Amino acid sequence: MSTTRSTSDRGLRPQADRPPYTVVGGPRWDRIRKYPYGITFLVLARGDRLFRAGLLADLCARGTGETVWAEPAPASPDVEQLTRDFPDVRFLLLPPGCTPGEMINIGMAEARAPLVFCFWSDQRPSTFPPAAVAAVESMGAACVLPAA
């Protein structure tokens, strides 16, 4: 049994105890609709920066949801350029020592969709058509495993 408090439990964890972070880029929030997107792609940055632009271009071209990029400190020097190249992507600049669990919890709190698809930046989601988003919405949950 774990006794660690969850960073997503706002009732137990005081505001001053949460890790601070900065949000850079992204479109303005459409406050008329409760969920302006069907799904949020939450990308946890790790590893090589070589393929970041390609991954972001692929996710933006899908048009099935918003993209949130969680970048742990120290922030990569290419984040500023990526913000200009991909204006629809929101980048979360996280503090030093932020754990993967905290990255996920912060990303989930920033997501503007009822469904969140979380993966590492060195992984590639193969296909995620809009029909799959509708199917998951009707079921309420999904379990996705990487293909070998």
Q: pLDDT for 50-83, tens place per residue?
A: 788 888 998 888 777 889 999 988 877 888 889 9
Record the pTM.
0.76
Residues 84-100 have a mean pLDDT of 90
Q: What percent of the chain has pLDDT over 90?
A: 15
Residues 32-51 have a mean pLDDT of 78
Dihedral sign (CA 119, 121, 124, 130):
positive
pLDDT above 50 (res 12) = no
The distance of Cα 145 from the centroid of its chain, to the nearest Å, equals 18
Range of 6-15, 110-119, 121-130 with top mean pLDDT: 110-119
pLDDT above 90 (res 137) = no
> String of b and e for 19-57 (b: at least 16 CB within 10 Å)?
eebeebbbeeeeeeeeeebbbbbbbbbeeeeeebeebbe
* pLDDT the model gives residue 17: 62
